[in-house]
Amino acid sequence: MKHLLLLAIALLCGCVEAPPPALSGAPGVPAGWGNEGFLRADRPRAFSFPEDHGPHDGYRSEWWYLTGNLRDRSGRRFGYQFTAFRIALLPQPTPQRGSAWSASHIWMAHLALTDVAGERHHHDERFAREALGLAGAQAEPLRVWVEDWQLSQSAFERPWQLRAASDRFTIELQLAPAHPPRLQGEAGLSRKGRDPGNASYYYSITRLASAGRVRIGDDEFLVDGDSWLDREWSTSALDPDQAGWDWFSLQLDDGSDLMFYRLRDRGGNASPQSAGNLFLADGRRIALRREDVTLTPRRWWRSDDGRSYPVAWTLTLNGPARRFEIEALMDAQLMALSVRYWEGAIEVREAGDRVGHGYLEMTGY
């Protein structure tokens, strides 16, 4: 489950034909925008690659979402996040309306680097319109960019490249998928609410071998590790009684990968649409429903705005009986940007032993 972070683009709306959204603690498509004319994720579809690595015009929103755990040669640990969000203003692209600045899409990107030893979480964001080459996406060869932040691929089945720099930190990585894309939900249709079409098309590459460098100030570190790619596109919103979500991606040392998102209602209970998958090392998939997973917060961290986030959890699988203890590598991994949400690197233990790592995202707290 990933963001529909349309809320921060009010900075651009003075120059494009769209009403400004309202800020909210629970990210979602603002109700006032309306979805008439947009395509809906309302039935399973056939996926095709590399085409589906590229953009899907006609849907309200789409994202390319990378998270990862890295180490340098001394064992120093880092977590990172890169996300590019495409937001459609109109159901179909339109010809230029008298200005080269006219755009049918606007873009937002988030970048973060967690330095565990340095006890710092660096983060930044960018906004651009899809005009004058400032931002955009294409499938072949893959290129997704917001200004000079870029995710690319020289040719299909070649490693991916991530290059993004702020004035405080830089991330440059080569990403080699360990397996083909894996479909989430019902053959790639991930239902988020009760109403038809309140869903997304969703696939993941749950493990990419990652190597490159990160820079913090004047210090540079050669790193390697694992990354996780999520791709979603949709035209939908949270149900009225849904307040946010908790999303877990676990990369286990036995070669298996687990994704689960718990959609929370306003009472803090798991919505029926909460779901995920356990992908075993031999390629088998075990679908996870709400009743298959028990999530129990064990420790909370309080941010400077007074909100509290559970940064330690117990995740229990009730089918293949397993009990994971999940702990943030660093409590203060808050994305304090146009929309505030917690997203950070985690460690996974089982029966007291370290068995993997991953990422955790929490919204609506």
**Domains along the chain?**
7-29+48-362 (2.40.370.10)
Let me know: does 134 contact 120? Beta carbons within 8 Å: no
> Which pLDDT belongs to residue 36?
85
**pTM of the model as a whole:** 0.92
Residue 280 has pLDDT above 70, yes or no: yes
The DSSP output letter for 254 is T
Residue 314 has pLDDT above 90, yes or no: yes
User: What would you report as the CA-atom Rg of the chain, rounded to the nearest whole angstrom?
Assistant: 19
Handedness of CA 244, 250, 257, 223 (dihedral sign): positive
The residue behind tokens 């979480």 is 121
The mean predicted confidence, pLDDT, of the chain is 90
Q: In 3D, which of 10, 69, 38, 97 has the Cα closest to residue 236? A: 38
Let me know: does 227 contact 66? Beta carbons within 8 Å: yes
pLDDT band at 143 (very low <50, low <70, confident <90, very high): very high
> Which pLDDT belongs to residue 363?
95
Q: In 3D, which of 186, 228, 185 has the Cα closest to residue 204? A: 228
The residue behind tokens 């969703």 is 202
Rounded CA separation 164/162 (Å): 7
Residue 263 has pLDDT above 60, yes or no: yes
Structure-block tokens of residue 300: 């909370």
